[in-house]
Amino acid sequence: MSLGLVESFSEFKEFKNIDRATMMRVMEDVFRSMLRRKYGDDSNFDIIINTEHGDLEIFRNRKIVDVDEVEDENQEISIAEAKNLEEDYEIGEDAIEEVKMLDFGRRAILAARQTLLSRILELEKDELFRKYKDRVGEIIVGEVYQIWKRELMILDDEGNELILPKSEMIGRDFFKKGDSIRAVVLRVEMQNNNPRIILSRTAPIFLERLFELEVPEILDGLITIKNVVREPGERAKVAVESYDDRIDPVGACVGMKGSRIHGIVRELRNENIDVINYTTNTPLYIQRALSPAKVSSIQINEEEKRADVYLPSDQVSLAIGKGGYNIKLAGKLVGYNIDVYRENVDDEDLDVDLDEFTDEIDEWIIDELKSIGLDTAKSVLETSTEDLVRRTDLEEETVIEIKKIFEAEFE
């Protein structure tokens, strides 16, 4: 009789983020809308919905009046008509009459079913949006469901669809369908009226949350993470501080023989993580941030937020790090532009590792020079251009340009 309207309760119960009370209210709203369209007013109708068994009952209450006193057929019923419903009715009482679904007609019922589905889908989207809006910054464990060119679809434990863009994945990340995955909720947005939950594995907050999972002292508030900077999959620096003198924050984060940090490093595809003690002493903070390099002296320019750092020649390449990541992350961590300089040395002893030129020269060119045993700028300058062209895959113009960069460094 209801043409699948009430039978749809079993479908509605499968919606993940809607509680029963909300669902009942929406259903009642839809039925009351049907009543208003048919009778003009729904104030004298009672609707009883049983979502467990899919039962729906609608009752109309009307005042019993004399035969010739009926003014509003929706609110009043004649005694003669009332007696047809129940023989014992008397004038002045309320007559209760069940309204059958057939009374509404097939088209009205189908329209109501469509409205009901639409309303509940909207509620589902709103609830999902609100739920994940409150979870931004939290780690989610999900399952890889679908892999596309630019993003992955992840299903959470309730079957909600989450998105992990390739741009938010670590370079060495590789997942296949069915794999379990951990990521942080980066942002939640509405796109074409549909909630879109974006995950990330490259955001600094992901590393911070991993530390909270691995280091109980952070979760307990005994250790505070002051700042996190990352080059995803390559290197990260984490500044930590303890308010309890008895706790070594760096030691607690690293764990016995690196037990705590190893799990994080594996999760981040062997990302090199430096944990350092936070301090308000800027020169000391910069010195710690440039670890493992040994700093000789530092000159600070507070106005320009710049630091000139002087190191022994053999420490400069350590301070810069592979690909320049160490100095770049140190600058981000402390909030200063850091320039490194070699301490005064005799011209004859002065030489520079090729790794220190990664900002100016492509890494593959440096690797090409290393492949023929040339590790320093001076060793390249001492080799003729013709010899370099013959022994490597470099063009003559490239070799000349490289030598100009090295000569400028010594000048």
Q: Are residues 34 and 95 in the same domain?
A: yes
Stretch (H or E) spanning 44: none
DSSP code of 351? -
Q: Are residues 146 and 159 in the same domain?
A: yes
Q: Are residues 26 and 101 in the same domain?
A: yes
Q: Are residues 317 and 297 in the same domain?
A: yes
Separation of first and last alpha carbons in the chain = 94
Dihedral sign, Cα of residue 191, residue 196, residue 200, residue 206: positive
Give the mean pLDDT per block of 10 residues along the chain (411 residues): 50 60 80 88 85 73 86 87 86 87 80 81 85 93 95 92 95 94 95 92 96 93 95 94 90 91 93 94 94 90 92 84 89 94 64 76 86 85 88 88 83 68
Q: Is residue 319 part of a domain?
A: yes
Domain extent, residue 168, equals 135-202
The CATH number given to whatever domain includes residue 176 is 2.40.50.140
Last residue of a domain, one of 101, 130, 159: 130
Distance between CA atoms of 53 and 61, rounded to whole angstroms? 25
Q: Is residue 109 part of a domain?
A: yes
Q: Is residue 363 part of a domain?
A: yes
Residue 2, pLDDT score: 46
Residue 252, pLDDT score: 93
Q: Are residues 298 and 367 in the same domain?
A: no
Q: Is residue 74 part of a domain?
A: yes
Last residue of a domain, one of 344, 371, 391: 344
Count of Cβ atoms closer than 10 Å to residue 131 Cβ: 16
Q: Are residues 49 and 139 in the same domain?
A: no
Q: Are residues 169 and 93 in the same domain?
A: no
Contacts of 331 (CB under 8 A, 6+ apart): 337, 338
Instruction: Tell me if residue 48 falls in helix, strand or coil.
Output: strand
The backbone torsions φ and ψ at residue 242, rounded to the nearest 5 degrees and listed phi first, read -120, 140
Q: Are residues 54 and 94 in the same domain?
A: yes
Overall residue count recorded for the chain in this entry: 411
pTM of the predicted structure, to 2 decimals: 0.69
Residue 204, pLDDT score: 96
Residues 32-47: tens digit of each pLDDT: 888 888 888 888 998 8
The backbone torsions φ and ψ at residue 135, rounded to the nearest 5 degrees and listed phi first, read -110, 10
The CATH number given to whatever domain includes residue 286 is 3.30.300.20
Q: In total, how many domains does the chain have?
A: 4
Contacts of 105 (CB under 8 A, 6+ apart): none
Q: At what angle do helices 325-334 and 282-289 cross, to 10 degrees?
A: 150
Two structure tokens written together for 308 = 């000139």
The CATH number given to whatever domain includes residue 118 is 3.30.1480.10
CA dihedral 157, 160, 163, 168 (to 10 degrees): -30
Q: Is residue 240 part of a domain?
A: no
Quickly list DSSP for 229-245. EEETTTEEEEEEEESST
DSSP code of 366? H
Two structure tokens written together for 190 = 């509405």
Residue 115, pLDDT score: 82
Q: Are residues 12 and 125 in the same domain?
A: yes
Q: Is residue 38 part of a domain?
A: yes
Q: Is residue 220 part of a domain?
A: no
DSSP code of 411? -
Residue 3, pLDDT score: 42
Residue 229, pLDDT score: 96
Distance between CA atoms of 50 and 301, rounded to whole angstroms? 73
Q: Are residues 141 and 126 in the same domain?
A: no
**Do 60 and 38 contact (CB within 8 A), yes or no?**
no
Last residue of a domain, one of 130, 163, 178: 130
Q: Is residue 1 part of a domain?
A: no
Q: Are residues 393 and 290 in the same domain?
A: no
Q: Are residues 153 and 174 in the same domain?
A: yes
Count of Cβ atoms closer than 10 Å to residue 98 Cβ: 10
